[in-house]
Structure 1
């Protein structure tokens, strides 16, 4: 599995917004497609405080476009934790 350094930096940036209740991990970047695992957690006091997969995808694609332009598509693997 190949990883792109710039894509990894983008995912690390987003991880800071998701933690401590959720997390994201860059699994692979191949042919312009980034595969990211989203461990969608639960906030004990605020269900709306957890980012939806659609919102996360939108944010990641926007950041990839600006900071990791080789990434053109996103495959988001959602795991409920």
Structure 2
């Protein structure tokens, strides 16, 4: 498993309890593209990670493990 696949797996473990899902779409020219389908949590709407927050924390993690990746692009 590559570092990118491992990070996607780890973040899926974070978003899955609310029914969320992250899918690796592509890695081209230093841009990692993932699809994010956020889940829901009626008791705590703020507990569901936003796409912007996911991008920011994934980008920090990925850059540490794979410096050639410059950007994480989160699409829905």
Same fold (TM over 0.5): yes
Q: CA RMSD in A?
A: 1.4
**Paired position in structure 2 for 1:50:** 48
Whether contact under 8 Å (2:16, 2:39) holds in the other structure is: no
Runs of 4+ with >3 A deviation: none
**Gap regions ≥5 residues in structure 1:** none
TM-score under structure 1 normalisation?
A: 0.83
Partner Cα distance (1:70, 1:13) in 2: 20
- 2:72 is aligned to 74
- Unmatched segments (≥5 aa) in structure 2: none
Higher relative helix content: 2
